[in-house]
Amino acid sequence: MMRIIGIILIGIFLCCNCKSAETSHPGPGHKVSPELLWKFPGFNPVFAKEEKEWVDIFYHIFDPSEKDEMVFKRLKGPKGLKTKTVSEYEFPTSYEKVLKYKEIHKYDNRGNEIETNYYMEPELFEITNWSFKYDDRDNMIEFAFYKFTSPPTKLPARSLYKYDNKGNRIEMVRYNHNGDFDGKGLYKYDDRGRPIEKTFYDENDRLEGKRLFKYDDGSNRVNEIKWTCYDADGKLADYYRLFKCEYDNKGRCESVLYGVYRDGKLTGDKAFFKYDDKSRLESVLYEEYNDGGLTREKFFFKYDDKGRLTESINYYYRSSWDDEKFIGKHLYKYNNRDNHIETTFYDRNNKFAGKHLYKYDDRGNQIEKTYYSADDKLSSKTLYKYDDRGNLIEGIEYEIKERSGKIEEIPVSQTVYEYEYYPEPAKK
């Protein structure tokens, strides 16, 4: 599922305009991670904390997806947060630490992010500045950004947004770094507030594409999104991009399709999901359709009596179901607080290929992550620290090496998080 989500996100964020829709297809990329699969909403209740994140991502897929839309879901800070600074360091030697990157996020007293500054080596110069404005209902009405690369931009690129009286975004207008009109989007909704059509225009105000939405049996579950594109003469292109999700009678996703159709032929991806009698994900069949034909991968999942994932097995099929190849498996362990403490990996020969171990504090925060290689030797370690509010304040990674018969922990990188809060209002 996460491979499908990754493909959808890439396709929407990076290939959202019709100029790239015809030729761009992200392809399979890296093997899907079972650790991410099981976090998908409804797949495993143990991971309720992470599920909200995936709910946001899955919902985000169906939001307006113009070039800057990816920033919208990340702009709310914790209550009372004024600034958050993230600094990344590298260690050229064991005795030297160099600041390589920094970002500073600023928030208003309602938790809206209002400015973000990014800095990078050499000499930590500012590379980008993002700023955000909101109306009285906390709807974003302007997103602007400067680039400080050589030569720096004279004006910020901007996107301006309008909303209806229900808070639905109905218009987006973009301007480039020269202040020129760079395109717009218009959005329509049904009487339930669900998006049904999004129309996009290019820098010449010519119709570029539409996104049409259908829903599953009157619910809020998106059943289909169809991207149609138009050429410079306003004629409908002979191809379209399609996302489609089918649901069973319990509202569970049974299949997902995402790809480009031309002449009735799909270039893209499909995934099929099966569940056990407790609605846990039992298997995923992933199919990729391309010029080279059809390839398949299949994942099987096992659980313990607490509903925790204990094993995932992966197979690959090149041309037929008879051509089955075992890719590997992952085994999972937990502590008595249901924290995931170990993942063990086995390769295509079913031989030990490494493991990851995790430790937690009394609040359930992860404080240590260690990686072991295929020879069962410790290869790296990452340590985490938190403040009294539970905020992560430091993560430092070490490479483990053996020298002269001694084990050494060599620092590789460090990330430091700093927080500043608004004064708490006086109690009456």
Cα gap 166→134, rounded to integer Å: 16
pLDDT tens digits, one per residue of 39-54: 333 333 333 333 333 3
pLDDT tens digits, one per residue of 212-250: 988 887 677 778 888 888 887 888 888 888 888 888 888
Torsion, Cα 50 55 57 61, to 10 degrees, reads 170
What percent of the chain has a predicted confidence (pLDDT) above 90? Answer: 40
Helix (H, G, I), strand (E, B) or coil at 8: helix
pLDDT tens digits, one per residue of 359-406: 999 999 999 999 999 999 999 999 999 999 999 999 999 999 988 888
Cα gap 114→82, rounded to integer Å: 10
Q: What is the pTM of this model?
A: 0.79
Average pLDDT for residues 18-25, to the nearest whole number?
A: 39
188 pLDDT higher than 90: yes
- 365's CB contacts (< 8 A; 6+ apart) are 384, 386, 390, 392
Q: Spell out the SS3 assignment of 60-107.
A: HCCCCCCCCHHHHHHCECCCCEEEEEEEEEEEEECCEEEEEEEEEEEE
